[in-house]
Amino acid sequence: MAGGDSSAPTIAPSGYMRQRSRYACAPCRQRKRKCDGTFPCSTCTGYGYECQYSGNVHPESSSSSAIAQASQQTTSTSTTGNSKRKALTAGLDEPATSPATSTSHRSRPTPPGALHVLSDEPTSHKDRGVLVPSKFRYMSKHSSVAFPQWVGKNLQSINPPRVHSFAYNTGIRRELPYSVTFDLQKYITWAEVHDSLDIYASVINPVFGFVDIDDLRQRSHDHWHERKQDSNFEALISGVIGLASLFSKLLCEGRELRIIQHAKDILDDPHTLRFPRLETISACILRTIYIRSTSRPGSAWLYSCTTMHFIEAIGIYRELEAPPEINSIMNRPPNGSKDILARVAMVARCLHIIISYEHGRSMADMGPVSEHHITKRSGDFTLQLNALVNTLPSDDDNKDSQDQAARKGELSLALRNLIATPTDHEFFSLIKGDLCFCIYRRLRLLDLGIRQEQLTQIIQAGKAALPAARILILRNHPWWNTVGTVFQYICVLLAIDSSESLAEIPEAMETLETIAKHLKTHLADEAMSTAKLLVRSMAEKKKKETAILEKTTGKIDRNYTTTSSSSTNNIAAHKPNAMQGSNGINNNSNNPHDTHDDSNSTSLMHATTPMNVVPPPPTPPLEWTTGLLDFMDPLWNWDAFFQPPPLTSSQIPPFTDASYY
């Protein structure tokens, strides 16, 4: 039998002796399946069983003591309780009686290759997840994939179903196999790979520090010296080579694009999607950076979403304290695994939020990453990127429509924290400017007004990005926002439309022109021509407004001149009539006692004017008749405007003192 432990050879009909496996594992014995005698065997690996051997000697091990220890542990585990072993095999933790019990269970050593399913969150959490290291999968416990196993365990089945996608489809077609055939080792030499690693380590890794450069260099050396690595590693190193070529022109454009295409083929292959690794996520991050630097915003957002879903599928942001055997199965580095896992999750999250925030798309946010898992590196600025992103509030359209005042408060606080966050790299100065512009665009849509202090902060953030953009371009480091930040800054200055913002346009236009002349690309020239068009439109708008104001000012001046001359003529016409009596004789002609005293003239007028005769009212100014009042005229008599007209003698009530009025 295939599952027997007899070492006696069997004579085949052809005369050759067919060797049988001397040892068969316990699951293969029980299920009467063929066992190849390895640990773990291929049958248990394929079906997700816990490969165990009943004997004290392992067939394939070179160290009998280690195997005896593993076998002894397996025997002791099975004797302590079959239900506990089956629960671990089934992938569901038994109800923990105390935290100490759960901790001791996690820290217990496990034989290499044992396909346990571990819970990655505290026992008290009501929605603990399920991590399947053998399949590189993470899912919630309410998943349909984990439910059959729970049912089997609840029914106290001797052999509960494994965590598997039972009946997920009809199964009428086979799954596509791995189909990538490109030979990367023959396409690029080890010397070029070595130079690419140096460029990546000095330019990109300080900003996005999620790769262990020393480990990557050693594995690259092995891969190009007859110790070939797997396809996930090729996707990772292809992304490194492509970005290094983009920032240094180490390779020609054709070779660079072919290597990037090779990484894409691996990441999109069905086999890679079925079994993602930590290197798969790292390669996805590199592809997102490359696409963000060379392609369209929609593509960059889609790739960043794919990276986030890979992170969720593999569960690295949930389980940062996996046992050593889990790290070995999932290709995680044994030393400093917490640092690498946290950095991968943090960079992927920051990159996804930045792309989504500036493009106005939804986010697949998994929450902040614990920074205490990250080890400080010399010359590394990755934590500054995380600090900038953590200042942003969640971008939800429902908040804008429900409570605009609260939304404005969130954005105002985010702007204040963003301005206060320090940056020590030119790329992060551009990122800070971009995020400030994102907040400004959201504040404008709230239609609640923006304070002058906030506008000044936004202008200053954009102004600080101008020298950073010039420095990066002169270094030939084509980060994606070297052009975009300057262009968006010009748009923001025109939208603010104040004397302070318009004064900054010349420097911004000069910087954009310098960058366009240096790059000599279609997108840079297009941004420059569009910025000139917007500035020209603003100038024409200002000219129209100035013409309207000049026309209005000229009309007011003409009206004021006409009004002044009319008032002078009226005064001259009415002055002699006021000095005449009722007989029309000038009283000032022959009387030597007459003086120009206004009080005597007024008394004489009242004395000689009959009670029933009312003098004609003065002619009103032209502004009163036309409806155009120049209230800004410095010669306007405000006191006379607000005082009532003087009463004549015919209007004074009888038996009253006229001097009172």
pLDDT for 246 equals 96
Q: How far is CA 659 from CA 505, 599, 647, 648, 656, in A?
A: 67, 12, 11, 12, 9
Q: Which residues pair with 586 in a beta bridge?
A: 580
The H or E element spanning position 140 is strand 137-140
Residue 333 vs residue 318, higher pLDDT: 318
User: Which residue has tokens 């129209």?
Assistant: 544
Per-residue pLDDT reduced to its tens digit, 188-209: 999 999 999 999 999 999 999 9
Q: Which residues pair with 132 in a beta bridge?
A: 137
Per-residue pLDDT reduced to its tens digit, 435-455: 999 999 999 988 778 899 999
Q: Of 44-48, 100-104, 370-374, 468-472, where does mean pLDDT reach its minimum?
A: 100-104
How large is the average pLDDT for residues 629-640? 56
Do residues 256 and 242 touch, judged by C-beta distance below 8 A? Answer: yes
Q: Cis omega before residue 122 (within 30°)? A: no
Q: What is the DSSP string of 276-304?
A: --HHHHHHHHHHHHHHHHHS-HHHHHHHH
Per-residue pLDDT reduced to its tens digit, 336-363: 478 888 899 999 999 999 999 999 999 9
Q: What residue type is assigned to position 602 of the chain?
A: T
The CA-based angle 484-488-490, given to 5 degrees, is: 125
pLDDT for 615 equals 55
Q: Which of 36-45, 147-156, 329-338 has the highest mean pLDDT?
A: 147-156
**Terminal Cα distance for the chain, rounded:** 133
Q: Which of 155-164, 338-347, 390-399, 503-512 has the highest mean pLDDT?
A: 503-512
Per-residue pLDDT reduced to its tens digit, 519-541: 999 999 999 999 999 999 999 99
Q: How far apart are CA 17 and CA 653, in angstroms?
A: 146
Q: How far apart are CA 337 and CA 374, in angstroms?
A: 10
> Which has the closest alpha carbon to 90: 36, 58, 132?
132
Residue 585 has pLDDT above 50, yes or no: no
pLDDT for 259 equals 97
Q: How far apart are CA 613 and CA 649, in angstroms?
A: 9
pLDDT for 96 equals 34
pLDDT for 156 equals 85
Q: How far is CA 314 from CA 143, 236, 286, 319, in A?
A: 15, 17, 18, 9
How large is the average pLDDT for residues 304-321? 78
How large is the average pLDDT for residues 218-222? 95
Per-residue pLDDT reduced to its tens digit, 591-622: 444 444 444 444 444 444 444 445 555 555 55
Residue 633 vs residue 419, higher pLDDT: 419
Q: Report DSSP state, residue 200.
A: H
Q: How confident is the model at residue 218 (pLDDT cuts 50, 70, 90)?
A: very high
Mean residue pLDDT of the chain comes to 75
Helix pair angle (213-223, 190-203), 10° resolution: 170
How large is the average pLDDT for residues 637-643? 56
Residue 293 has pLDDT above 50, yes or no: yes
> Which has the closest alpha carbon to 384: 208, 582, 184?
208
Q: Cis omega before residue 40 (within 30°)? A: yes
Q: How far apart are CA 31 and CA 50, in angstroms?
A: 13
- SS3 (DSSP) at 560: helix
pLDDT for 43 equals 74
- What length is written for the chain? 661
Residue 22 vs residue 291, higher pLDDT: 291
User: Which residue has tokens 């979403």?
Assistant: 305
Q: How far apart are CA 112 and CA 192, in angstroms?
A: 37
Per-residue pLDDT reduced to its tens digit, 52-82: 776 443 443 333 333 334 444 444 444 444 4
Q: Of 295-309, 457-471, 524-538, 547-561, where does mean pLDDT reach its minimum?
A: 547-561
Cα atoms in the Cβ-side hemisphere of radius 13 Å centred on 102? 15
How large is the average pLDDT for residues 447-474? 93
Q: How far apart are CA 220 and CA 595, in angstroms?
A: 116
Residue 314 has pLDDT above 70, yes or no: yes
pLDDT for 97 equals 34
The CA-based angle 177-180-182, given to 5 degrees, is: 160
Provide the token pair at 573. Answer: 């016409």
Q: What residue type is assigned to position 204 of the chain?
A: I
Residue 579 vs residue 197, higher pLDDT: 197
How large is the average pLDDT for residues 37-61? 63
Residues 6 or more apart whose CB falls under 8 angstroms from that of 485 comprise 430, 433, 434, 437, 462, 465, 469
pLDDT for 150 equals 83
Provide the token pair at 249. Answer: 């022109």
How do the domains of the chain map onto residue ranges? 1-80
pLDDT for 65 equals 39
Do residues 91 and 117 touch, judged by C-beta distance below 8 A? Answer: yes
Residue 145 vs residue 558, higher pLDDT: 145
Residue 653 has pLDDT above 70, yes or no: no
pLDDT for 9 equals 41
Q: How confident is the model at residue 133 (pLDDT cuts 50, 70, 90)?
A: low
Q: Of 142-151, 177-186, 291-300, 492-501, where does mean pLDDT reach its minimum?
A: 142-151
How large is the average pLDDT for residues 139-166? 84
Residue 5 has pLDDT above 70, yes or no: no
Q: Which residues pair with 140 in a beta bridge?
A: 129
Percent of all residues in the chain with a pLDDT value above 70, rounded to a whole number: 63
> Which has the closest alpha carbon to 275: 45, 26, 517?
45
Using CB atoms within 10 A of its CB, is residue 34 exposed (0-12), middle (13-18) or buried (19+)? middle
Q: From the CA atom positions of the chain, what is the Rg in Å?
A: 43
pLDDT for 600 equals 46
Q: Of 37-41, 42-46, 588-592, where does mean pLDDT reach its minimum?
A: 588-592
Residue 573 has pLDDT above 60, yes or no: no
Q: How confident is the model at residue 333 (pLDDT cuts 50, 70, 90)?
A: very low
User: Which residue has tokens 């939020």?
Assistant: 353
pLDDT for 404 equals 85
Provide the token pair at 210. Answer: 């999620």
- SS3 (DSSP) at 98: coil
Q: How confident is the model at residue 50 (pLDDT cuts 50, 70, 90)?
A: confident
Q: What is the DSSP string of 458-525?
A: HHHHHHHHHHHHHHHHHTT---THHHHHHHHHHHHHHHH-SHHHHTTHHHHHHHHHHHHHHH--HHHH
